[in-house]
Each structure stands twice: as structure tokens, then as C-alpha cells.
Amino acid sequence: MHLLLSPMQQTDKLISPSVNWGSLTPLLVLLGAGLVLLVGAALSARGWAKGLYATLTAAAAVAAGVLQFVLWNSTVHHGPKSLVGEALVVDGPSLFIGISICAALLLAALVTDDYLRREDIDSPEVYGLYLMAALGGLVMAASNDLIVLFLGLEVLSIALYVLAASHRKRIESQEAGLKYFILGGFSSAFFLYGVALVYGATGTTRLRGPESIKTALALTVETDKHRALLVVGVALLLVGLAFKVAAVPFHSWTPDVYQGAPTPVTGFMASAAKAAAFGALLRSVVLSMPELRDDWRPAIWVLAILTLVIGSTLAVVQTNVKRMLAYSSISHAGFILVGIEAAAHGGESGDRGIASVLFYVLTYAVLVSGTFAVSTLVGRSGDGAHGLDSYRGLGRQRPVLALALAVFLLAQAGVPLTSGFVAKFSVITAAADASSYAIAIIAMLAAVIGAFLYLRIIVSMFLEDGDAEGERVSIPFGTGAAIGISVAFTLVVGFFPGWLLELARDAATRLY
């Protein structure tokens, strides 16, 4: 009955699991950089030279990203593997999501440097928190154990609570941090309770591999007795993750927190946290509990439809651009859930669903980071100018910046020749492939409604004349670079999506 021997029974000889340090390097780099940053900054009396924190963070992001590419290569040659006594895995989806998170971290670091200077905040802690959050995200995406997943979730969340409140001069920022904290704690509790119930029903918290939840579920005799316990546990797991990805009806925190948090942090939340949570959702429920798919797939189906419809319609009535983008990020979560729903079907079309989710997560991470980078600049000193009015006449004042934002918005709307189009196209094809026609049609409808929102911002920028008194938007180097990278990626993937689609498909099939 108890598939995993409890540690109590083997106290006589405590065997520490073999740690594959080489495969842990991406995590170690992020952890090390974070520690160096915090300790170093605390020890030096006058703090470091400006820009050094950001440089270190960006370097750590790049290093972790490159290391994951190296691991990818070894996965191709030697197959996926597990680490630290099967607590973590190195496989296609985990590396793909990990790289997405590192990309988001790099872009956030570039933007935050200029932001902190403009807002006159000197805080190495922000970067330390970024690094910890990214570390948590990586752990979530790579976890093969619900407890480890929860650990990653908490590391990510706690760092984000503080980050959301990190603009000390703005009361909205603190309000956002507090709100996020209270509601995040609320949902984490559900998740943890879910973990406990699943453990109670199956006797293990391990997700895949030998003696895991997946194998336990395959032996239905064992779990049938605890079926109610099990499904309630799964429901609570879904609640916890749905909160993190901001799926309706667990989305209510998003607009307030996105609006109140410092804009670069919002960008990081929308990209990295969402990527990590979708990675965790794939790993914990979709890939590990296929036997229960008849139970949880309808729930995902409903979540996806609610999220698509509510996200895109409420975006239309907003007047604050950060709030608009918050609702738009909700509707993007809906699109990714469409891919998850397709992935839930298993088999060939399931693989296609996983690939579409991975592709969407990466392209959206870059896209939304770029969007919020522009929004950071337009927010101007004080980070308050986020009304639609603040975008008026941007096309004349800063044509290149306005053009970049137009590219991002068009991509978010799913206009062809941008990465956003290919992403939407692949989730909808995956859904159609899995015969989920209703959801595919609703997704297209949401895309149509959602386009109106992006149009409003573009119209404001190019067609309406700006207020002459408005402070001129300045474009510092780091943020400019981040925007440039994001635009380039968005367009390159839009024109030549083949390689990345191939990579995502590859990742989807290289499962531990």
C-alpha cells in the first residue's frame, strides 16, 4: 500500500542520494549569483558601482541559459535523467521552460537597472530577489516531486511578494505586495493541502518514474479506495497553480498587482512566474496523472474558456494600460490553457499540445517582457503615467519606441509574421488536432475580441495627438537593448518559426 518506504524505517543507515552536480549547475549559478550579490553588497560600505548588480544578474541569467543549452545537448545524446534522488529531472520541458525563465530574467535585469536609477532607488536586494525567484521557477519546472515543487513555488512567490512591494515611494506598490502576499498565501495553502491529500491517497509525492504517483495511478486497485481523497487533492493542486497562472476565477489579484507593482517587476511576473507555473502544471497534473484525465480535463476546459472570455472582454473596458495588459495576460493564460487541454488528450496530439504550450510560454515571455519594458519607459519618473493618455502622440515623439510597442501589441493580438501569431496558431491547431473544437472556436473568438484592446493603444500612439506638456520619454541603453532583443526575437520567430517549433516538439517528446 505504501509504495514509498517512509524514512522512519531506515533511520539506521541514512543514505544520501547521489547528487548529479553537473546537471544542477543552472540552479547553482542563479543561487550563487544571488548570494554573492547580497553578501557582497552588504559587506561593501558604499555599495557597488552602478550597473554592476544588473550586470551580474544578467550574466547569471545568460550563464544559466547557456548551461541549460549544454544540458539540452546531453539530453539529446544520453536521454533525460533525474537528479537528487528523483527530486528533480532534466528533460525537454524542464529545460525549455528554464530557458524561458532565464530569458525573462535577462530582460528584467536590463530594464530594472535603468528603472531603479530613474526612480532613485538603490537596492541590490531587488536583483537578489529576481535571482531567487528565477531559481524557484526553475525548480518548479524541473521538479519531480510535489514537495520540491511546493518548495520552488514558495521561493518564487515570496520573492515576488517582496518585489511587488519594492518601490518604497509608491503606496500602490506596497498595496500590491500586500495583496499579492495575502492571496498568494491563501492559494499556496490550498496547494499544500492538495499535496497532502494526494500523498494520503497514493503514499507518495513523487510524480513520475518508479514508485511514483503515475505508477500508483496505473495500479487502479490501490487508488480506488482513496479515490475521493485523491481527486480532491488534484482539485486543490489545480487551484494553487491556476492562481499562479492567473486563470479565471483565480485571477482577481492580477489587475491590482500588475498595476501596483513596479513595471519591470510586472513584466517579470507576467513572463517568468507564468512560465514556471505552466511548467509545474504540465509536470504535476498533465504528465503525471494521465489516468485521471477524465476528471481534471473538463476542469481545465472550463478554466480555459472562462479565462479566455473574461480576460479578453474585461481588457476592453480598461483605461489604464497596465491593467489592460494584466487582463491581456489573463487571456494569454487562457490560450496556453487551450494548449494544456490539448496536451491532456495524451498520445500524438497530446505531444503536440505540450509542444504548443512550450512554444507559447517562451514567445509570450519575451513578448510580454518587451511590452512592459516599453511601458516602464512611458511610465516616466514616478512610474505613474500608465493611463491611455500617456501613450498619446508617442508615435510622433518617439517613433521607434512606438513602433516597437506596436510590434509587441500586434504580436499579442496574433497578427501573422509575428511570434504571437505562430504561438496562437499552434495552440489552436493542437486543440483542433485533439478534436476540442469548441475550445478552438472560443479561442479564436477571444483573439478577435482581444485585438480591439491592442488596437486602442496603437491608435493612441499614432493617431491621436499628444499633450505637449508631457515629459519626453527617455530611452536608456539597457532598456533599449531589452526592447531591441525582444523585437528581434518576435519578428525572427514570426518569419522563421520552424526551428523553434521543431525545438519545442523535440522538447515535448524528450520526457523523463
Partner 1 sequence: MLNVIWLIPLLPLCGFVINVVLGRRLGDPKSGLLAAAMCGAAFIVTLVTYFDLVSRPEEARQHVATIFSWIPVGGLSVDAAFLADPLSITMALFITGIGTLIHLYAVGYMHGDPKFSKFFVYLNLFAFSMLMLVLGENMLVTFLGWEGVGTCSYLLISFWHTRESAATAGKKAFVTNRVGDWGFMIAMFLAFQAVGSLSYSALNSAAMGGTLVRSTATAITMMLFLGACGKSAQLPLYIWLPDAMEGPTPVSALIHAATMVTAGVYLMVRVNPVIATAFTWAPAVIAIVGAATALFAATVAVAQTDIKKVLAYSTVSQLGFMFLAVGSGAYVAAIFHMVTHAFFKALLFLGSGSVIHGMHHEQDMRRMGALRKLMPITAGTFIIGWLAIAGVPPFAGFWSKDEILLAAWAHPTNPALFKVLWGVGLFTALLTAFYMTRQVIMVFFGKARWEDHSGDHGAHGDFKPHESPAIMLLPLVALSGLSIVGGVLNLPFTDSTKRLLHWLEPLVHFGEIEGHASAGEKWGLAVGTAALCLASMGVAIFVYQRNRAQAVEPQILADGWRYDRFVSWFMGHPGRQAFEATAWVDRNIVDGAVNGVATGVRRSGAVLRRTQSGFVRNYALLIGGGVVLMLAWFLLRAVGVFG
- Segments of 78-158 assigned E as strands: 81-83, 88-90
DSSP single-letter state for residue 44: S
Distances, alpha carbon 44 to alpha carbons 36, 37, 38, 48, 49, in Å: 12, 11, 10, 7, 11
C-beta closer to partner 1: residue 218 or 316 = 316
Minimum CB–partner distance for residue 244 and partner 1 (Å): 12
**Helices 227-245 & 274-281 angle (0-180, nearest 10):** 160
Task: List CB contacts of 83: < 8 A, sequence separation 6 or more.
Answer: 19, 20, 23, 24, 89, 90
Minimum CB–partner distance for residue 383 and partner 1 (Å): 12
Separation of alpha carbons 312 and 315, rounded Å: 5
C-alpha cell at 224: 480506488
**Helices 92-119 & 347-378 angle (0-180, nearest 10):** 10
Contact yes or no for 445/439 (Cβ under 8 A): no
C-beta closer to partner 1: residue 247 or 373 = 247
Contact yes or no for 367/486 (Cβ under 8 A): yes
Separation of alpha carbons 110 and 304, rounded Å: 33
C-beta closer to partner 1: residue 2 or 227 = 227
C-beta closer to partner 1: residue 55 or 320 = 320
Minimum CB–partner distance for residue 312 and partner 1 (Å): 11
User: What is the DSSP pairing of strand 81-83 with strand 88-90?
Assistant: antiparallel
Minimum CB–partner distance for residue 397 and partner 1 (Å): 16
DSSP single-letter state for residue 17: P
Minimum CB–partner distance for residue 373 and partner 1 (Å): 21
Q: Which ranges constitute the DSSP H helices of 145-218?
A: 146-164, 171-202, 213-218
Minimum CB–partner distance for residue 435 and partner 1 (Å): 9
C-beta closer to partner 1: residue 48 or 186 = 186
C-beta closer to partner 1: residue 281 or 501 = 501
Report the first-to-last Cα separation within the chain, whole angstroms: 25
Minimum CB–partner distance for residue 440 and partner 1 (Å): 6
Minimum CB–partner distance for residue 427 and partner 1 (Å): 11
Minimum CB–partner distance for residue 351 and partner 1 (Å): 9
Other Cβ atoms within 10 Å of 481 Cβ, number: 17
Separation of alpha carbons 111 and 424, rounded Å: 27
Closest CA to 508 of 428, 430, 425: 430
C-beta closer to partner 1: residue 59 or 232 = 232
Separation of alpha carbons 56 and 60, rounded Å: 6
Minimum CB–partner distance for residue 221 and partner 1 (Å): 16
Contact yes or no for 91/251 (Cβ under 8 A): no
Separation of alpha carbons 76 and 299, rounded Å: 34
Minimum CB–partner distance for residue 30 and partner 1 (Å): 30
Q: Is the dihedral of CA 203, 208, 214, 218 positive or negative?
A: negative
C-beta closer to partner 1: residue 127 or 301 = 301
C-alpha cell at 346: 495524451
C-beta closer to partner 1: residue 127 or 421 = 421
C-beta closer to partner 1: residue 88 or 297 = 297
C-beta closer to partner 1: residue 117 or 293 = 293
Separation of alpha carbons 218 and 202, rounded Å: 11
Minimum CB–partner distance for residue 214 and partner 1 (Å): 19
Q: Which ranges constitute the DSSP H helices of 318-398?
A: 321-343, 347-378, 394-397
C-beta closer to partner 1: residue 63 or 299 = 299
